Structure formats: C-alpha cells, structure tokens
Amino acid sequence: MNRKYLGAVGALATGALVASVALVPAANAATTTLTIWTTTNAQETPTLQSITADYQRQNPGVKIKVVMTPFDTRDAKFSAAVQAKKGPDIMRAEIADVANWASKGYLADITKSVSAADKKDFLPAAFAYYNYAGKIWGLPHAPDAPALLYNKAMLKAAGMTVPKTLADLKTQCEAKFPSGNGIFLRADSYWVQAWVWGFGGGLVNPAKKQILIGSAKSAAGMQAYKDLMTSKCAMPNTDFSNDYGNAQAAFKAGQVAMIVNGPWATSDILAGSAFADKNNLGVAPIPAGPGGQGSPVGGNGWVISKTSKNYAAAVKLLTFLAGPAANEKWAAQNNLLPSRSSAYKLPLVAANPVITQFLAQMKVATARPVLPQGGQIYNDFGPNFQNFLQGKTTAQEAATIVAKAWQSKLFRDYSIVS
C-alpha cells in the first residue's frame, strides 16, 4: 500500500541500506545474541540503536544486532527467512503484516507473556492489530492516525473556529475561505475513511462476515468528502499522483489553512515558513459526522519470529522496545506517538504539544480490519475512489464496485451490505 495514505509508510521506510549495527558493552561478554530486523528510516534508526544500547547496559549478558531492512521488501525477506528457519528474533512489522504473518505461522504467540497491566496500558486502537484469532502476536510501536492539521493564525484571521462536526467544517470553510485557501484534501481512499465512518459506513465486519463499503452510508461519506474537496474553499487538487507533496508544500508555506495528515508529517511541516513559530500548528480530531467519528490507525510494531531460538530473551526485549521509556525516546527524538497511555504522562512526551494534541485523535481513531487480507483492501478501493472523484462513476457505483471486488478477491464468504 501507498504509505502516503497509510500513515506515511513511505516516509518511515526509506532505509534501503542493509547493514548491521552491534551495540555491545565493552566490559561484558555477551551470552545471548538477539537480532532485530527493522524498517526504520535514517532519522529513526539512531533512536532504535540508542534504545537497544540502553537495554544492553541494563542486561550485560545480551548482545543485540540491528539489521536494516527495506520496507518495500520486508514481507518477501521475512517470509523467505522464516520458511528457511533463518528468521530474526524480532521483526518490525507494519500493522497489516501482523495478521498476515500470524495466519501463515511465521510468528510466535506471545499471549501468555503479555501482562494484564500492559494490555490495559496500550491504546486500544493500536493494540487491536496485534490481537488475531484469539491470540496476541506482538506489541505496538509508533501508532498513528490522520488528524485535521490547521494554521492557527490563518483560522484566527479568518474568524474560523476549530470545527467539531464535518458539516461545520464545510460550512465554516466555505464562509471563511471563499478563495480556495481553506483546505487541501487528497484523492486517496485512506483519507476518505474518516468520512466513511463519520457517515455511519464502514469497511468490513469480520464478526458478521459483512462487507460494508458498498452501503449507502459509506457512499454518503465518500460523497461528502468530494463535496468538500471540490467546494470553493478547497485548493484545487489537479495532480492526484503528487497530491501528498503538494498538500504539504502548500500548508508549510501558509497557502492553505488546513490539511489532513498524520504525526509522521509534523517534523516536515514544522520546518515550513508558516510554522517558524511552532505553536502556530494546531491538531484536532477529524470532526464527527452524522453517523460517528473515526480515523484509520496505522503504524508499526514488534513481533517475534517463530524461528527464534531465544523466545524468553526475545519477549523481554520486545516488552522493553514497546515500554514507556522507549515510547518517550521515540516521541522526543522523532515526534512519533507513544503506543501506551502511561507514556503520555512522561515529561518529554507531555512537553510536546504536537504529540499531546494527537492523543485526542487517537482516542477516537478506528482500527482497520484485523485480517490476513487487510493490507490488500486498497488495491481496488484506491483507483475506484479516484474514478468517482473524476466523475467517472457516482459514489454509490464506486462503493458497489469496490464491495464486489473485495467479495470476489478477498472475502468470498462475506455478504455485501447495501
């Protein structure tokens, strides 16, 4: 999937270099070696190395080897390694990988190793992806969800308040920014999901084996998104293939007051001229619609390979990687959201206004279907949503086409809700 709609996996996965970094306390002979395969980028990898160094100082009998793995080839590489019984001890997994790998027998079941306190501490929408088929297969790291990002000075100058509903967003945007500098919306199916949920629609319901995207409510959410995207207050989106960068550039330069994007984009945004005063960046949950509120949760996590020969040691390290201290370090050094509620109370997290504002979005965010096929739903959703935006189909026609494609390719025993 294109991570420009999926919590910017592309931005998180630029580490194409394959290299190993061993961090070993000089004065202690390691007795256990653990290997981590990571898809972190050039800015994030030093943070991971710092966290593993912390762990080794506290556990001098452990040697950790960090191996960079390109995001785009992670599935093929990990799958092949596990099948050859040469997988790493710990793998950094994108959320859609977890159910897929667990269903294929690639992951170690850690259900009995996760404490009740930890289960309660993880943000529910982030932790949901690691629960599949009644078992726990990993722990979340750096969850994310798109939110409404806004230029505080532009909203104040226009006399616009932060909207609480999708209807209020459109009404105020059109009234306060009639010249097309109110909002820039992307032509992307990942982004429209908040509107689909806002109008009471959905994607799929695994418990009832139902496909929801083809429903009238889902189509209504898609139509409402297009109505705002093509309104007089929206900056014209004439280049779908480059609209992520175009939205970022316009927002950073103060050419548009609002965009929808996730925490992964904030470091870049804060480097823009419109945010020389970093306090000028506002973050609010995507407003509620008449049928609810939501935003798709993305991010990554840590899983243990079924082939690990050091399960007990790997679980201990896994828990540390997803622990409060590690959460705080990721937040301080990379502006990534903590996966634990308790971490938001730690000093370096509490002092970061961007992260604390995103917590409100995470509390009303929505986990995507936790299914082995979950990562494939955008193959048909994306192009058909764009066909609708281009006027080639109606919202209902596009929604029905997607639903039928999912039924024939992914969910053959599911019924389509109209």
Q: In the prediction, which pLDDT does 13 show?
A: 37
Q: Are residues 341 and 382 in the same domain?
A: no
Closest CA to 48 of 269, 342, 302: 302
- Is 188 in contact with 170 (CB distance < 8 Å)? no
Backbone angles phi, psi at 245, to 5 degrees: -65, -35
Q: Whole-model pTM? A: 0.88
Label the pairing between strands 281-284 and 147-151: antiparallel
Q: In the prediction, which pLDDT does 29 show?
A: 54
Number of domains making up the chain: 2
Maximum pairwise Cα distance, the chain: 68
Q: In the prediction, which pLDDT does 1 show?
A: 41
The distance of Cα 384 from the centroid of its chain, to the nearest Å, equals: 22
Q: Is residue 75 part of a domain?
A: yes
**Edge-to-edge, what's the strand order for the sheet holding 32-38?**
20-23, 62-68, 32-38, 90-94, 298-304, 138-144
Distance CA 13, CA 8 (A): 9
Q: In the prediction, which pLDDT does 15 show?
A: 38
- Is 398 in contact with 222 (CB distance < 8 Å)? yes
Q: Are residues 156 and 89 in the same domain?
A: no
Q: Is residue 3 part of a domain?
A: no
Distance CA 274, CA 267 (A): 13
- Is 15 in contact with 43 (CB distance < 8 Å)? no
Query: What domain range is 223 assigned to?
Result: 147-295+377-416
Q: Are residues 185 and 124 in the same domain?
A: no
Joined together, the tokens standing for residue 269 give 């945004």
Q: In the prediction, which pLDDT does 192 show?
A: 98
Q: Are residues 77 and 203 in the same domain?
A: no
* Token pair 């100058």 in the structure block, residue: 157
Domain with residue 63: its CATH number is 3.40.190.10
Cα-trace Rg, the chain:
22
Distance CA 246, CA 244 (A): 5
Q: Is residue 78 part of a domain?
A: yes
- Residues in the chain predicted with pLDDT less than 70, given as ranges, are 1-30
Q: Is residue 82 part of a domain?
A: yes
Joined together, the tokens standing for residue 237 give 């989106």
Q: Are residues 105 and 13 in the same domain?
A: yes
- Is 89 in contact with 304 (CB distance < 8 Å)? yes
Q: Are residues 227 and 306 in the same domain?
A: no
Backbone angles phi, psi at 317, to 5 degrees: -70, -40
Q: What is the pLDDT of residues 299-309, one digit of tens each?
A: 999 999 999 99
Q: Are residues 196 and 254 in the same domain?
A: yes
Q: Are residues 238 and 254 in the same domain?
A: yes
Q: Are residues 18 and 119 in the same domain?
A: yes
Please enumerate in sequence order all residues whose Cβ is within 8 A of that of 149, keeping only pairs 6 or more positions apart, or say none. 251, 258, 259, 260, 261, 265, 266, 269, 281, 282, 283
Q: Are residues 162 and 284 in the same domain?
A: yes
Write the CA distances from 232 to 154, 184, 235, 385, integer angstroms: 17, 11, 8, 21
Neighbour-count burial of 187, counting CB atoms closer than 10 A to its CB (0-12 exposed, 13-18 middle, 19+ buried): buried
Q: Are residues 36 and 176 in the same domain?
A: no
Q: Is residue 2 part of a domain?
A: no
Q: Is residue 4 part of a domain?
A: no
Q: Is residue 191 part of a domain?
A: yes
Q: Are residues 255 and 290 in the same domain?
A: yes
Q: In the prediction, which pLDDT does 24 show?
A: 42
Q: Is residue 113 part of a domain?
A: yes
